[in-house]
Amino acid sequence: MEHVQQLLNQYGLVLTDFAPNNEMLALMPTILKSSISFANVTINQEEVVLIDTSAELNEDHLIQLIQLLKNVPLPIIFLADSFSIDTQMLLTKNQFGFISQMGFYLPSLKPVKVTKPTMQLISLSKNQQIIILALIYWKLLHDDDSNTFHIKVRQLADYLNITAMTISRALRTFVDAGWLATSGYTRNHSFSIPTGYDLNSWVNEILRLLPSPVQKTLYVPINQIEQIEEKKLASLTALSKFTLIAPTTLVSWAISNNQLTDELKQANLPEFNARLTPKNNAAVEIWKYDSQVFNQLLPKNYQLAVDPVSLFLSLRNSHSKEVTEQLNKLLENLVNQH
Residue 186 confidence (pLDDT): 47
Q: Could you report the per-residue pLDDT of 264-315, keeping only the tens digit for each?
A: 999 999 999 999 999 999 999 999 999 899 999 998 888 899 999 999 999 9
**Which residues make up the CATH 1.10.10.10 domain(s) of the chain?**
126-209
Centre a 10 Å sphere on the Cβ of residue 253 and count the other Cβ atoms it contains: 23
- Strand bridging mode 76-79 / 97-100: parallel
The SS3 assignment for 288 reads coil
The CATH number assigned to the domain with range 126-209 reads 1.10.10.10
Q: In terms of residues, how long is the chain? A: 338
**Closest to 32 measured CA to CA, from 5, 51, 48, 49:** 51
Residues β-bridged to residue 125: none
Per-residue pLDDT of the chain (338 residues; tens, 9 = 90+): 667 777 777 677 888 888 999 988 998 988 888 889 999 998 888 888 999 988 778 888 888 888 888 888 888 999 888 888 888 888 888 888 888 877 788 876 655 455 667 899 999 999 999 999 999 999 999 998 788 899 989 999 999 999 999 999 999 999 999 999 886 554 456 789 998 888 888 999 999 999 999 999 999 999 999 889 889 999 999 999 999 999 899 999 999 999 999 999 999 999 999 999 999 999 999 999 998 999 999 988 888 999 999 999 999 988 788 999 999 998 888 877 65
Sequence-separated (6 or more) residues with CB below 8 Å from residue 163: 157
8 Å CB contact between 149 and 192? yes
Q: Say which DSSP state 281 is in.
A: E
8 Å CB contact between 213 and 313? yes
Ordered alpha helix ranges (H), the chain: 2-9, 22-26, 30-33, 59-69, 85-93, 126-141, 153-160, 164-176, 199-209, 222-226, 235-242, 262-267, 271-276, 308-315, 321-336
Sequence-separated (6 or more) residues with CB below 8 Å from residue 44: 13, 14, 109, 110, 111, 112
- Measured CA to CA, the distance from residue 96 to residue 168 in angstroms comes to 46
Amino acid at 52: D
- Measured CA to CA, the distance from residue 141 to residue 291 in angstroms comes to 17
The SS3 assignment for 43 reads strand
C-alpha separations of 8 from 45, 115, 200 in Å: 14, 14, 16
CA dihedral sign of residues 308, 313, 315, 318 = positive
Which H/E stretch holds residue 181?
Answer: strand 181-182
Task: Please state the pTM of the whole predicted model.
Answer: 0.67
8 Å CB contact between 228 and 254? no
- Measured CA to CA, the distance from residue 279 to residue 144 in angstroms comes to 45
